[in-house]
Structure 1
Amino acid sequence: MLLALTLMLLVSNISYADPITPYREGFIEGFIKSKGQDKIEIEEYDGTVHTLSFDDKAVFVIDTVQADFEDFKPGMEIYATLKRRKIDYMEGYSTEVPGYIPEGGKVRTGVIKSIDRNQVTIRLPIGEEETYYTSPATIALKKGKNVPLSILYEGDSVKLLFDEVESTTISRIEIEGDSVRVKDIYRGVLTTVDTLENAITLTGMQVFRNGQWQDLSSSRRIFYSAQVPVYTGGAKISYNNLKYYKGKTVYMAVKDFFGRDQIERMVIKNQYESIYSDKIEDINWYSDAFELANHKNLAFNDGTIVIKNGRLVNKYSINAGSDVFVVGDGTGNQQMANVVYIYDTDINNSNAGQFYLYEGRLDEIVKDKVVLKDFCLLNQNEWESFADEKELFYDSDINIYDSEEDRQITPLEFYSKHYAVDEDSSYAEENNLNDWYAYIYTDGDRIAAILLKKDRDSIMGQRATSGTVEFVEDHSLVGWRISVRDASDWSSRKDAWMAKNTSLMIHLQDAMIIKDGAMISPQELKAGDRLYMIRDGSQAKVVIVK
């Protein structure tokens, strides 16, 4: 009897795989039990075990970073999606128990909802919001490189690390790469829904370009994640009911997910489309509605696709005074905003940044200091001139570019050469020496990068422009240039961003190009980069990669 009872207990602890559930739902999650050369044994949370092989184009990710199959270890917790009974995507987590808080530390992951100087509010994967604080000791990392906190955006996916379990002060912020950016906004007619592979097919495809819808191919198949919400008329709908909306127009914000489009937010048109390009005059948060300068009122909701700084953000990022492109849905005064594209941009991404752009005459240069005279400061997208002097400081990490010699120079050369002279001296007169001029990009009063020019540019025709790089090329006749789409110019007369209806061709000869606070070369720009620039006609003077 004891032997029989022991055998029964042993048998009761053995779980047998459900041959249907993962294939019906299209995903599996649990722990790696064992792995072979091209197969893996996965134990689901309920204890059932499945042996699975991989699709030829399977994607592997660990902690949001692309990895190889060899990097996955037995015991690691994973989530995988299935395609034709094979794994086509598998995501793992470097700790076997992600919820475990190690001694003296904790981790939070989420999407930045708002930034207010040293206060960062994130939305957690479970939907809750938490607020934490930065300090001068907080380290920010992006793609393994140390970056300033000022490059943070609303909508960035981040991992926050803390030195103490009870602390609300962040010790380290790891910023996710370009995958958080919205690649495009599409519009199309829903024709088929494939719940097995999480994909939809659309016809009459159009893309938002230069302030209007432009035609694409007649049909396109786009993948989605079941965790991405779908709305219509302000109401959230289930993916199980998506098939009942065939023939309806769908708006989608998509991101680049390992080389393919993936839907990040989806809204189904409920009634009739109207398009507006105007400034938001006022917002009523009690009723979740805003009024445009043309006195048109539109409601918004959690499903509204809101794009700001090229990122998908929540409705709370909509601000009075913003210049917007809006896709309305409804009739008369009863309209809902399906898409709100915010044109606003500036040198700083938020009020946590303290970057400035100066233009002026180099009156004095010593080993660690520069004195500007008759200088201009870019203030709210416009040059503001000052007759005073301005002291700025530099160190050995400064980037200095001599536009005459077409090369970067060292701080020693900057200090020892004749970029600033006493123009009233006989030495300057005998050697025909004059003060040089410069565009200077600073972090506070510290110079991060400086572009030296022998002759001063006229700033009268210069304007602030924002947009997205379409392509970069080294032209055989004119050198490096870029095509910029979805561009808008700042109008001081209208106090608004004015959208362009065509792409711009911008030349980069002698331009100062800044990315993450440092100077880069034109060939380091790439398609999809968002830019804020000062230009004179087709010639860029300063380009800041956002």
Structure 2
Amino acid sequence: MRFIKSAMVFAMLLCLVFSGQAAVVSEAAGEEAEGYISGVVREVNPSLGYITLYRWDGSGMSPEAQDNLTRFRTYSFAYSIPVTRDEHQAALEDVQPGDYAFIQLDEEGYVAWLSTRSYYKPIYGTIYRVNLASPVLKQDDGIYRSISVAVNVPIYQNDQLIARNQIQEGDRVRILAQIDGTNVHVQGIELLKDPKPVSAIYRGNVEYYDELNNTLALSGVQEFVNGRWEYSSFIGVRSFPYSRDYKDRPSGRISGMAYIAVQEDINGEDSIVMAAFRSKPQNEMVFTDNVLALSNTLNRLELQNTSQVIGFDAGTIAVKNGRLVDMGSLNTMDNVQLSADKPIGSSILVSQVVVSNTSKGMGSLAIYRGRIKTVDPLRSFTVESFAELSGSKWLFSNTPKTFGIDLSTTRLLENSGTGNMLTFDENFVTQSVYIVEDTGKTLLVSTAPYADVQERGRVMSLTDNGFRLREAMMYNSSKRVWTSAPNRDVNVPANAIIIKDGKTADLSAIRPGDSVRIVSNNANRDGIIIIVES
């Protein structure tokens, strides 16, 4: 009788869940009916015998719920439990991340019965281009997809919520989404693992490929260091193993020169994560410069300080912020170190290696701007909508965003200088502010005026209220190009945001010779945001 009653309850709740009323179940039965659990599958491991769920609303994996996570959101099972998927008998291996799951627990808290329905589809791929509202994903099938991501979509790494600005080009991700034609509704994003950075880029004369040991043997090995090729200390023939994650292998007889990007494997050895085979360079040139324009259609790259037209191809090794990326991940005015050669019969240079480090200066910091909607004194404040500074543009999101206040770390900058966060109250409602955030922690709130003129250059000398800028460039947003600008004095107001070495700073941190990026006010050209890049 007890079994029949339990089965009837389970069947009733299951019907509600599979009719799309999971929220009603949760509300009607309290948190969840005793002995019955529902949620979105994050992971199922038949070998180790456990299943982990997100709650139906995507919560349950936050740091605040860390204790509850182990106790309530991960469940163990025996391999022989009954399983159904989409109302058909199934095996545990058939259950997919993103499925909606309904679990019946036995008296000891183990899974006695598991039913799932296709709900969210997992999309696997690599971040091709970072965008606040719609990142571009390169899927495993080679298709590029721009995916709209609402501001409240949770993003996880190592079971912890992370800030959106921590996603970088080259990150490997799993996106749980419902897809209806061209419409994609994202439930959550998870970084599958923190990719190891590219530890080095080498080239050398090809000796042979050892298929048995899965290694590539090179002689005369050189390393690309600070924009130039240098011979390594290793003399003779050096063998590099291929990474298991990299699938391409040489076919047939190979010769010429190999260009390889390597990462350290679990044994601390360099393993190949990308390789390209070319003829030996005849007319090689190296550049350290800024990107003025890039065309994926023409496979062409234009640099700021040279008239040379530079091409790229499928074999070009592109590394941005330590991660392998496609060339299309580079943005205008990204600083690059580049090696290129003019192959026989070609009229243009073709890049072999392109290395860019755009995180210099900013580190993990993010800069936002928005108009304050509400203030909870000493605790938090919310802006009506916001924009995030991304390279040479502001990315706008028409949704509210809440920032925490921590009196030990959050500073207030006003027109007269440093303010007092103790007085940050409802009087600031409707005030437009800048916010500097570091992985979810609010470091700085500034009342500086609106700024949207993008400039960069090098500090020539310091002045009483700022510095003199030389080698100046200004970004033309309508033409999307950088153009030369005259040297000028930059006034730095008391509430300007200054960032150096990934930390907030003040005017005293700026030195002659520093390379700086500036966002200035259009009216008086004051430097409102100053990022020291090197």
TM-score when scaled to structure 2?
0.49
Q: More strand by proportion, 1 or 2?
A: 1
